[in-house]
Amino acid sequence: AQSVTQPDIHITVSEGASLELRCNYSYGATPYLFWYVQSPGQGLQLLLKYFSGDTLVQGIKGFEAEFKRSQSSFNLRKPSVHWSDAAEYFCQGTNAGKSTFGDGTTLTVKP
Amino acid sequence: DTAVSQTPKYLVTQMGNDKSIKCEQNLGHDTMYWYKQDSKKFLKIMFSYNNKELIINETVPNRFSPKSPDKAHLNLHINSLELGDSAVYFCASSQGHLNTGELFFGEGSRLTVL
């Protein structure tokens, strides 16, 4: 079955530290991959997306993600986290008209 | 102008009641969706409509009935509400159906069934 897995339910980092959120996918073919952020009480907002081509994708708010076919991963990174990055992060995969969201990772930022 | 707007934002009601949530998008997209986010924040697609035609109807009780009067609107009506229906319901839209287009989400409608 097609799936997207986010292994980390909750991650805590200190402000200014680097961040990596993991996303693994399981699809018959390479899916389209997306990362969304959900701030408290808000809807989801797209951070970045990967379709094909360059495997390092730049997004908004200083985020980037790297597609690694060999590891079936699409991990989200940020070199220096800001307190305002505290939110829920969702990875999504889409293929052949089917879409799956990961279960989300809650990011807490310590002062 | 809000791209995807849904009303009401909060809805508190008793078990057994019928309620509706409305959604409108002004992005010119041809596909709209309803997602349910439970208390653990898991997101599940419920329905999708492409140009007013139902495309996806996941395993959702038939108490839930979506209606799309035009491609800019997708409403969700829920009959005989149950405690387990308490959740945040998100409307979303995209250009094209679950392909390369990103999803644009509304702010959610928090439904509480007492």
A40 in contact with B at a CB cutoff of 8 Å?
no
Q: How many CB pairs under 8 A join A and B?
A: 52
**pLDDT for the residue B1:** 67
Residue B21: which residues within 8 A CB-CB, separation 6 or more? B6, B7, B8, B11, B75, B76, B78, B89, B91, B109, B111
CA B106 to chain centre: 9
**pLDDT for the residue A55:** 92
A104 in contact with B at a CB cutoff of 8 Å?
yes
What's the CA dihedral at A77, A82, A86, A92 to 10 degrees?
Answer: -30
> How many Å apart are CA B29 and CA B93, to the nearest integer?
6
Domain extent at residue B90: 4-113
Pairing of strands B53-57, B43-50: antiparallel
Closest residue on chain A to B46 (Cα): A99
Neighbours of B79 (CB within 10 A): 13
pLDDT in tens, A57-94: 999 999 999 999 999 999 999 999 999 999 999 999 98
Q: For each of the domains in chain A, give its residue range(s) and CATH number, in order of start.
A: 3-110 (2.60.40.10)
65-94 in chain A: CB under 8 A from chain B: 88, 90, 92, 94
Q: Residue written as tokens 């530290």?
A: A17
The structural domain count of chain B equals 1
CATH classification at residue B16: 2.60.40.10
Tell me the average pLDDT across A94-99: 82
Residue B22: which residues within 8 A CB-CB, separation 6 or more? B6, B7, B73, B75
For a pLDDT cut of 70, what percent of chain A falls above it?
A: 99
What is the full per-residue pLDDT of chain B (114 aa) written as tens digits?
679 999 999 999 999 999 999 999 999 999 999 999 999 999 999 998 888 888 877 778 999 999 999 989 999 999 999 999 999 999 999 987 766 678 999 999 999 999
**pLDDT for the residue B97:** 72
**pLDDT for the residue B55:** 83
- Chain B residues lying within 8 Å of A41, measured CB to CB: 107-108
B107 and A41 within 8 Å at the Cβ level: the answer is: yes
- Chain A residues lying within 8 Å of B55, measured CB to CB: 97
